[in-house]
Amino acid sequence: DVKVTQSSRYLVKRTGEKVFLECVQDMDHENMFWYRQDPGLGLRLIYFSYDVKMKEKGDIPEGYSVSREKKERFSLILESASTNQTSMYLCASSLEGLDEQYFGPGTRLTVT
Amino acid sequence: KQEVTQIPAALSVPEGENLVLNCSFTDSAIYNLQWFRQDPGKGLTSLLLIQSSQREQTSGRLNASLDKSSGRSTLYIAASQPGDSATYLCAVAGTASKLTFGTGTRLQVTL
Protein backbone atom coordinates (compact mmCIF):
# COMPACT_ATOMS: atom_id res chain seq x y z
CA ASP A 1 0.00 0.00 0.00
CA VAL A 2 1.11 3.52 -0.75
CA LYS A 3 1.90 5.47 2.35
CA VAL A 4 2.06 9.26 2.45
CA THR A 5 3.00 10.74 5.79
CA GLN A 6 2.99 14.32 7.01
CA SER A 7 5.22 15.56 9.80
CA SER A 8 2.50 16.99 12.05
CA ARG A 9 -1.24 16.50 12.44
CA TYR A 10 -1.71 19.81 14.27
CA LEU A 11 0.49 22.89 14.32
CA VAL A 12 0.09 26.30 15.95
CA LYS A 13 2.36 29.12 14.83
CA ARG A 14 2.54 32.86 15.34
CA THR A 15 2.19 35.49 12.64
CA GLY A 16 5.52 36.14 10.94
CA GLU A 17 7.07 32.78 11.80
CA LYS A 18 8.69 30.63 9.14
CA VAL A 19 6.82 27.33 8.91
CA PHE A 20 7.92 24.04 7.37
CA LEU A 21 5.45 21.30 6.50
CA GLU A 22 7.04 18.00 5.53
CA CYS A 23 5.62 15.20 3.40
CA VAL A 24 7.18 11.81 2.73
CA GLN A 25 5.99 9.04 0.40
CA ASP A 26 7.37 5.53 0.34
CA MET A 27 6.39 4.32 -3.15
CA ASP A 28 8.97 5.93 -5.39
CA HIS A 29 6.33 8.23 -6.89
CA GLU A 30 7.45 10.85 -9.40
CA ASN A 31 4.79 13.46 -8.62
CA MET A 32 4.06 15.16 -5.34
CA PHE A 33 1.48 17.83 -4.54
CA TRP A 34 0.54 20.30 -1.83
CA TYR A 35 -3.09 21.40 -1.39
CA ARG A 36 -4.93 23.46 1.13
CA GLN A 37 -8.54 22.78 2.09
CA ASP A 38 -10.90 25.45 3.39
CA PRO A 39 -14.64 25.24 4.15
CA GLY A 40 -16.70 26.27 1.15
CA LEU A 41 -13.63 26.51 -1.11
CA GLY A 42 -12.66 22.86 -1.35
CA LEU A 43 -9.14 21.70 -2.11
CA ARG A 44 -6.89 24.07 -3.99
CA LEU A 45 -3.50 23.23 -5.44
CA ILE A 46 -0.59 25.28 -4.06
CA TYR A 47 2.45 23.68 -5.73
CA PHE A 48 3.40 20.41 -7.30
CA SER A 49 6.60 18.67 -8.32
CA TYR A 50 7.12 16.11 -11.07
CA ASP A 51 10.77 15.35 -10.31
CA VAL A 52 13.51 16.06 -7.83
CA LYS A 53 14.35 19.76 -7.74
CA MET A 54 11.48 20.51 -10.14
CA LYS A 55 8.42 22.48 -9.08
CA GLU A 56 5.40 24.05 -10.68
CA LYS A 57 3.00 26.65 -9.30
CA GLY A 58 -0.53 25.59 -8.70
CA ASP A 59 -3.58 27.82 -8.42
CA ILE A 60 -2.66 29.63 -5.19
CA PRO A 61 1.15 29.76 -4.77
CA GLU A 62 1.33 33.24 -3.25
CA GLY A 63 2.93 33.24 0.20
CA TYR A 64 4.31 29.70 -0.20
CA SER A 65 7.44 28.03 -1.53
CA VAL A 66 8.45 24.40 -1.85
CA SER A 67 11.52 22.22 -1.79
CA ARG A 68 12.15 18.77 -3.20
CA GLU A 69 15.72 17.70 -2.64
CA LYS A 70 14.95 13.97 -2.54
CA LYS A 71 12.37 12.04 -4.51
CA GLU A 72 10.46 10.85 -1.45
CA ARG A 73 10.23 14.20 0.36
CA PHE A 74 8.34 17.37 -0.55
CA SER A 75 8.35 20.35 1.79
CA LEU A 76 5.98 23.29 1.89
CA ILE A 77 7.39 26.50 3.34
CA LEU A 78 5.51 29.50 4.63
CA GLU A 79 8.18 32.19 4.66
CA SER A 80 6.23 34.51 6.97
CA ALA A 81 3.03 32.93 8.24
CA SER A 82 -0.13 35.00 8.20
CA THR A 83 -3.54 34.38 9.74
CA ASN A 84 -5.10 33.81 6.31
CA GLN A 85 -2.87 30.76 5.96
CA THR A 86 -4.74 29.01 8.76
CA SER A 87 -6.02 25.92 6.98
CA MET A 88 -5.83 22.15 6.52
CA TYR A 89 -2.81 21.27 4.38
CA LEU A 90 -2.85 18.02 2.42
CA CYS A 91 0.04 16.38 0.63
CA ALA A 92 -0.44 13.85 -2.17
CA SER A 93 1.67 11.77 -4.52
CA SER A 94 1.17 9.88 -7.76
CA LEU A 95 3.33 7.49 -9.70
CA GLU A 96 3.58 9.70 -12.76
CA GLY A 97 1.57 11.82 -15.16
CA LEU A 98 -2.14 11.63 -14.47
CA ASP A 99 -2.13 8.57 -12.27
CA GLU A 100 -4.25 8.16 -9.18
CA GLN A 101 -3.28 10.50 -6.37
CA TYR A 102 -2.73 9.22 -2.82
CA PHE A 103 -3.12 11.59 0.10
CA GLY A 104 -1.54 11.98 3.50
CA PRO A 105 -3.55 12.51 6.71
CA GLY A 106 -3.27 16.29 6.59
CA THR A 107 -1.81 18.98 8.84
CA ARG A 108 -4.17 21.43 10.48
CA LEU A 109 -2.22 24.67 10.78
CA THR A 110 -3.41 27.54 12.94
CA VAL A 111 -1.64 30.88 12.67
CA THR A 112 -2.38 33.26 15.56
CA LYS B 1 -11.17 27.47 -16.13
CA GLN B 2 -12.51 24.10 -15.00
CA GLU B 3 -15.27 24.19 -12.38
CA VAL B 4 -16.54 21.13 -10.56
CA THR B 5 -19.89 21.08 -8.79
CA GLN B 6 -21.31 18.47 -6.47
CA ILE B 7 -24.99 18.35 -5.63
CA PRO B 8 -26.37 17.92 -3.05
CA ALA B 9 -23.99 19.41 -0.52
CA ALA B 10 -25.39 17.13 2.17
CA LEU B 11 -27.48 13.99 2.16
CA SER B 12 -28.99 11.84 4.91
CA VAL B 13 -30.33 8.35 4.15
CA PRO B 14 -31.42 5.37 6.24
CA GLU B 15 -29.21 2.32 6.33
CA GLY B 16 -29.73 -0.10 3.46
CA GLU B 17 -30.74 2.46 0.86
CA ASN B 18 -29.05 2.71 -2.51
CA LEU B 19 -27.92 6.25 -3.30
CA VAL B 20 -26.37 8.36 -6.04
CA LEU B 21 -23.96 11.24 -5.65
CA ASN B 22 -23.58 13.67 -8.52
CA CYS B 23 -20.59 15.52 -9.93
CA SER B 24 -20.60 17.89 -12.89
CA PHE B 25 -17.73 19.70 -14.60
CA THR B 26 -17.65 22.53 -17.10
CA ASP B 27 -14.76 21.55 -19.38
CA SER B 28 -15.15 18.12 -20.97
CA ALA B 29 -11.46 17.97 -21.99
CA ILE B 30 -10.44 15.81 -19.05
CA TYR B 31 -8.01 12.92 -18.76
CA ASN B 32 -9.66 11.17 -15.86
CA LEU B 33 -12.00 11.63 -12.92
CA GLN B 34 -11.34 10.41 -9.40
CA TRP B 35 -13.75 9.89 -6.49
CA PHE B 36 -12.45 10.26 -2.94
CA ARG B 37 -13.80 9.75 0.54
CA GLN B 38 -12.84 12.02 3.45
CA ASP B 39 -13.62 11.33 7.08
CA PRO B 40 -13.81 14.33 9.45
CA GLY B 41 -10.39 15.85 10.12
CA LYS B 42 -8.63 13.25 7.99
CA GLY B 43 -6.97 13.01 4.60
CA LEU B 44 -8.56 11.73 1.40
CA THR B 45 -8.94 8.08 0.48
CA SER B 46 -9.11 7.25 -3.22
CA LEU B 47 -12.19 5.20 -4.11
CA LEU B 48 -12.30 4.96 -7.89
CA LEU B 49 -10.53 6.45 -10.88
CA ILE B 50 -12.21 6.52 -14.30
CA GLN B 51 -10.13 7.22 -17.38
CA SER B 52 -11.68 9.54 -19.97
CA SER B 53 -12.05 6.59 -22.36
CA GLN B 54 -14.05 4.56 -19.82
CA ARG B 55 -17.75 4.72 -19.01
CA GLU B 56 -17.68 3.22 -15.53
CA GLN B 57 -15.64 1.59 -12.78
CA THR B 58 -16.75 -0.68 -9.97
CA SER B 59 -15.28 -1.52 -6.59
CA GLY B 60 -17.39 -3.59 -4.22
CA ARG B 61 -20.61 -1.69 -3.45
CA LEU B 62 -19.39 1.37 -5.35
CA ASN B 63 -19.96 2.11 -9.00
CA ALA B 64 -18.82 5.29 -10.71
CA SER B 65 -19.94 6.35 -14.16
CA LEU B 66 -18.61 9.02 -16.48
CA ASP B 67 -20.31 10.86 -19.32
CA LYS B 68 -17.56 13.11 -20.55
CA SER B 69 -19.52 14.78 -23.31
CA SER B 70 -22.18 16.02 -20.92
CA GLY B 71 -19.70 16.79 -18.13
CA ARG B 72 -21.21 14.46 -15.56
CA SER B 73 -20.20 11.65 -13.24
CA THR B 74 -22.18 9.73 -10.66
CA LEU B 75 -21.10 7.61 -7.71
CA TYR B 76 -23.59 4.89 -6.88
CA ILE B 77 -23.42 3.32 -3.41
CA ALA B 78 -25.41 0.13 -2.97
CA ALA B 79 -26.90 -1.00 0.33
CA SER B 80 -25.54 1.92 2.33
CA GLN B 81 -24.09 1.35 5.81
CA PRO B 82 -23.38 3.73 8.72
CA GLY B 83 -19.66 3.26 7.99
CA ASP B 84 -20.23 4.94 4.63
CA SER B 85 -20.88 8.23 6.43
CA ALA B 86 -18.23 10.67 5.20
CA THR B 87 -17.70 13.47 2.70
CA TYR B 88 -17.35 12.33 -0.89
CA LEU B 89 -15.28 14.41 -3.28
CA CYS B 90 -14.88 14.19 -7.01
CA ALA B 91 -11.90 15.60 -8.85
CA VAL B 92 -11.14 15.93 -12.56
CA ALA B 93 -7.68 15.78 -14.06
CA GLY B 94 -6.87 18.27 -16.77
CA THR B 95 -3.44 19.15 -18.07
CA ALA B 96 -0.15 18.88 -16.20
CA SER B 97 -1.33 16.37 -13.60
CA LYS B 98 -3.55 18.96 -11.96
CA LEU B 99 -6.76 17.95 -10.23
CA THR B 100 -9.72 20.28 -9.82
CA PHE B 101 -11.93 19.32 -6.90
CA GLY B 102 -15.58 19.75 -6.14
CA THR B 103 -16.59 20.93 -2.67
CA GLY B 104 -18.03 17.55 -1.78
CA THR B 105 -21.23 15.87 -0.65
CA ARG B 106 -21.49 15.15 3.07
CA LEU B 107 -23.26 11.81 3.48
CA GLN B 108 -24.84 10.54 6.67
CA VAL B 109 -26.23 7.02 6.83
CA THR B 110 -28.55 6.60 9.79
CA LEU B 111 -29.50 3.43 11.66
Cβ-based contacts of A108 with chain B (< 8 Å): 41
CB-nearest partner of B49 from A48, A100, A108 = A100
Cβ distance A105 to B42 less than 8 Å, yes or no, reads yes
Nearest residue on chain A to B95, judged by CA atoms? Answer: A98
> What is residue A32's predicted lDDT score, i.e. its pLDDT?
94
Beta carbon pairs, A and B, within 8 Å: 52
Question: Three-state SS string across B9-56, please?
Answer: CEEEEECCCCEEEEEEECCCCCCEEEEEEECCCCCEEEEEEEECCCCE
Residue B60 burial by Cβ neighbours in a 10 Å radius (0-12, 13-18, 19+): exposed
Cis amide bond preceding B8, omega within 30 = yes
* A14 confidence band (pLDDT: 50, 70, 90): very high
Cβ distance A40 to B42 less than 8 Å, yes or no, reads no
The rounded distance, in Å, linking the Cα atoms of A24 and A76 is 12
State whether residue B49 sits within 8 Å of chain A by CB: yes
* B47 confidence band (pLDDT: 50, 70, 90): very high
> What is residue A68's predicted lDDT score, i.e. its pLDDT?
96
Cβ distance B96 to A56 less than 8 Å, yes or no, reads yes
List, for residues A33-90, the tens digit of each pLDDT value.
Answer: 999 999 888 899 999 999 898 899 999 999 999 999 999 999 999 999 999 999 999 9
State whether residue B60 sits within 8 Å of chain A by CB: no
Average pLDDT in the B92-111 region? Answer: 88
Per-residue pLDDT at A15 exceeds 90: yes
Nearest residue on chain A to B88, judged by CA atoms? Answer: A42
CA B107 to chain centre: 11
List, for residues B52-95, the tens digit of each pLDDT value.
Answer: 999 999 999 999 999 999 999 999 999 999 999 999 999 999 86
> What is residue B4's predicted lDDT score, i.e. its pLDDT?
95
> What is residue A2's predicted lDDT score, i.e. its pLDDT?
67
- Taking the CA of residue A39 and the nearest CA in chain B, the distance in Å comes to 8
CB-nearest partner of B98 from A4, A45, A108 = A45
* B96 confidence band (pLDDT: 50, 70, 90): low
pLDDT top residue among B52 and A2 = B52
CA A76 to chain centre: 5
> What is residue B41's predicted lDDT score, i.e. its pLDDT?
86
The pLDDT mean for chain B works out to 94
Cβ-based contacts of B43 with chain A (< 8 Å): 4, 90, 103-106
Cβ distance A56 to B43 less than 8 Å, yes or no, reads no
> What is residue A26's predicted lDDT score, i.e. its pLDDT?
94
CB-nearest partner of A58 from B32, B41, B98 = B98
